[in-house]
Structure 1
Amino acid sequence: MYSLDSAFNELIDKIRDPDALNPAKSDPIFYFAYPPELMLDLKRRLPRWTSKIREAGFDVRRVSLADILWGLVDDSGRWDDWLKLEADADVDQINEAVRDVLRQGNALVDRVAEAVESAPEGTVVLLTEAELLHPYFRTRTIESRLHDKVGTPTVIFYPGRRSGQYGLHFLDFYPVDGNYRSTLLGGL
């Protein structure tokens, strides 16, 4: 049976020594894949896991992708207009309008990159609420933007399954995407 805590213990080991068994010496970005039905269990464990990361000698910066997403929607000034139009709008139109706000000038990706890149040495960055990126983004887009710019361990909590060494199956209903170059943990 899958164990969130066992997967987390594996993550702690990787954070302590990110180059171990990593012949490519890639960025210290880790995908912590977990079954989507365990999302609430994971969120309950995060405070305890954060303490364990601190006990391992790191500071922790939690970056909520939900907060960034909703901040961009609020900053756009479009929310009230969308609420007025929602009854008559098609779901695809609504999603496209939100996607437009998030992609305008690479807004979402740039805000995430800023939060990760500004983390001081000795900090582990936890990117949470990746599920809210559906249907607007793939986490791989964020990973690509961070490539060669990450100096501190960064963990993306990923609701879905692993597929081999480089593939992930987002929310268990997207097709497998085999183009992830970072270390994948859990999620089997």
Structure 2
Amino acid sequence: MPLPEPVANIAERIVSYYETQATVPFFIYQYEPQDEYAVRRELNDLRMWLEADPRNIECDTVSLADVFWKTLEEGGQLDEIINLERAGAYEEAQLAVRQVLSARPTFADRVVDRVQARQTDRSAIFLYRAGALYPAHRTSTLLDELKARIDSPVTLLYPGSISGDYGLRFMGKTEPTYGYRALIIPRGES
């Protein structure tokens, strides 16, 4: 089964990185939020393709939602945050979430630890379920922190929309963010 063109583009660039050892590539695979499950199927196809001979690239998927919830649970404030949300104190709840995510070990520290524990000489990292971070944590911040600390290709599955040439609107709801230091690859029309 051939990979869809945008996914094949990512696959070729990952393989090319291991052939040339150029700068570690970071990708943002942008798609509309309602396409989440189709994108996960595409990710599975991409993993099988990369892991097959002759490519033999180990693929590691990281659910940002799982890391997010684990961080909140270990931060000891999950019940308080839930109670704030139930009471309609959304701003206070978001502030509490941001404080937990920025405390040591930070959210990015936890993602890096998770990746480094399973990283091999030929790894490709896929970050998915980024929608769970909305509105508490920006993916641009996460990618900036990972870029200096991970030496394998990283692809962020990004539920959102493109604004202009290089702006991304997380979940199609935020103001556009510019300055991502990753190659944006749009999925295209669903």
Q: Deviations over 1:131-187 (max 9, x none)?
A: 111111111111211233332111111112334664322211222212111111124
Q: What RMSD, in angstroms, separates the aligned Cα atoms of the two structures? A: 2.4
Check conservation: 2:11, 2:46, Cα contact below 8 A. no
C-alpha spacing 1:177/1:19, structure 2 compared with 1 (3 Å): farther
TM-score with structure 1 setting the length: 0.83
- Structure 2: 5+ residue runs without aligned partners? none
Check conservation: 1:30, 1:184, Cα contact below 8 A. yes
Is 1:67 the counterpart of 2:66? The answer is yes
Check conservation: 2:84, 2:90, Cα contact below 8 A. no
Is 1:150 the counterpart of 2:150? The answer is yes
Cα distance in 1 for residues equivalent to 2:161 and 2:86? 35
Identity %, equivalent residues = 26
- Give the corresponding residue for 2:121: 121
C-alpha spacing 1:132/1:60, structure 2 compared with 1 (3 Å): same
C-alpha spacing 1:89/1:139, structure 2 compared with 1 (3 Å): same
C-alpha spacing 1:52/1:19, structure 2 compared with 1 (3 Å): closer
Cα distance in 1 for residues equivalent to 2:124 and 2:91? 36
* Residue identity in the other structure for 2:48: S
TM-score with structure 2 setting the length: 0.83
Q: For residue 45 of structure 1, report the CA deviation from its aligned partner.
A: 3.3
Cα distance in 2 for residues equivalent to 1:186 and 1:86? 34
How many corresponding residue pairs? 181
Instruction: Give matches, 1:32-51, under 5 Å.
Output: 32-51=29-48
Q: Deviations over 1:102-152 (max 9, x none)?
A: 112361011112233452220111111111111111111112112333321
Cα distance in 2 for residues equivalent to 1:158 and 1:89? 28
Instruction: Give matches, 1:4-43, under 5 Å.
Output: 5-18=4-17, 26-43=23-40
- Structure 1: 5+ residue runs without aligned partners? none
Segment drifting more, 117-126 vs 76-85: 76-85
- SS of the equivalent of 1:27 reads coil
- Give the corresponding residue for 1:80: 79
Q: Deviations over 1:48-75 (max 9, x none)?
A: 3221221232111111101100111111
